[in-house]
Amino acid sequence: MNRYFTEIQLKHADWKYLLPPVILLILTGILSFSVATTHIGNIILIAGTLFIILIYKTHLYHKIRRDLRDQQRKNQAYQMLMLTLETDRPLPYMSDWSATPELSLAVCDEILHNEPDCVVELGSGTTTLITAMSLKKIGKGKVWAFDHQKEYVERTKLQLQRQKLTEWAVVHHAPLTTVESEVGKSPWYDLEGKIPDRKVGLLIIDGPPVKTAKLARFPALPMLWERLAESAVIILHDTHRPEESEVIKRWQEKYDKLQCINIDSEKGISVLYKGSADRSVIR
């Protein structure tokens, strides 16, 4: 019995699915026992319990269907990446906190269609590798990736070395510093002396983490807008979260020519276009 309980794996995100049915069950039990007749109370308790179980099972059914759909998209995106990039080396695992195959495919697709000379990435990792591979395929350009965690900077550099892509990418450690914008003071990357002196054709935003501040990724455009090319493309990850959705809304209020296309995926991807960029992203 002790082994059974120790092997149960629960995550913080699971509690929002576990607590409501438990609370409803407790309330149903209290209501049933408050009924004067015991027999009627038991009937209410049983009926209420079955009703709660049916609702919860229906919810789990739909959640499993969504998870299977998301997994199918991941598999398809990964296969398309392998075929498009024609790599003879294995790609890193795309799970947990790393970039998803859908994000990697969106980045690859934008590079192949718009052929940016300069790519800037906020938050390094798998996307840095995919970006370097895509630039190598078109035979031009370079990516400058910035991360506030030294551990991820070193991991990304190691992956680039293993894939023999160091000439296509530069990875900088950029500690978070306080900047001022329309959303107030917030931590953002220290890019002083590290950003390339050229127009940015593609901006990939996958950081800072949402836990660092409210609307943590909003400063990206105010800080880099003047450096963006007229036909620049911006890719923002994790847009299923309310914070990132709010960031896009505020960006579009500030920059009226900013157009947005959403890619349905597990975490959500939004591709924003400044000016007349080729809007041929895989959707």
Task: List pLDDT tens digits, range 147-204.
Answer: 999 999 999 999 999 999 999 999 999 999 999 888 888 899 998 888 888 999 999 9
Which residue, 126, 117, 122, is CA-closest to 87? 126
| Interval 24-31 mean pLDDT | 69
Range in 78-82, 128-132, 163-167, 172-176 the model is least confident about: 78-82
CA atoms within 13 A on the CB side of 32: 18
Instruction: Tell me the mean pLDDT in the region 219-245.
Output: 92
- What pTM was computed for the model? 0.78
Give the burial class of 50: count Cβ atoms within 10 A of its Cβ; 0-12 exposed, 13-18 middle, 19 or more buried.
Answer: exposed
pLDDT in the model for residue 39? 67
What is the β-pairing status of strands 269-274 and 200-205?
unpaired
Q: Which residue has the higher pLDDT, 246 or 266?
A: 246
pLDDT at 144: 97
HEC letters along the chain: CHHHHHCCCCCHHHHHHHHHHHHHHHHHHHHHHHCCCHHHHHHHHHHHHHHHHHHHHHHHHHHHHHHHHHHHHHHHHHHHHHHHHCCCCCCCCCCCCCCCHHHHHHHHHHHHHHCCCEEEEECCCHHHHHHHHHHHHHCCCEEEEEECCHHHHHHHHHHHHHCCCHHHEEEEECCEEEEEECCEEEEEECCCCCCCCCCEEEEEECCCCHHHCCCCCCCHHHHHHHHEEEEEEEEEECCCCHHHHHHHHHHHHHCCCEEEEEECCCCCEEEEEECCCCCCCCC
- Asked if 103 contacts 206 with a C-beta cutoff of 8 angstroms, the reply is yes
pLDDT band of 69, cuts 50, 70, 90: confident
Report the percent of the chain where pLDDT is more than 70.
81
Tell me the domain boundaries of the chain. 2-70, 92-274
* Residue 143: C-alpha distances to residues 56, 92, 172, 261 (Å): 47, 18, 11, 23
Give the pLDDT confidence score for residue 112 in this predicted structure.
94
Cα gap 104→76, rounded to integer Å: 12
Residue 5 confidence (pLDDT): 46
Q: Report whether pLDDT(12) > 70.
A: no
Averaged confidence pLDDT in the chain: 83
Rounded Cα gap, residues 241 and 160, in angstroms = 30
CB atoms within 10 A of CB 262: 15
Task: Choose the most confident range, by mean pLDDT, from 158-162, 207-211, 254-258.
Answer: 158-162
At residue 29 the predicted structure's pLDDT band, cuts being 50, 70 and 90, is low
- Report the pLDDT value the prediction gives residue 199, as an integer from 0 to 100: 94
pLDDT at 4: 46
Which CATH superfamily is 92-274 part of?
Answer: Vaccinia Virus protein VP39 (3.40.50.150)
pLDDT at 3 over 70: no
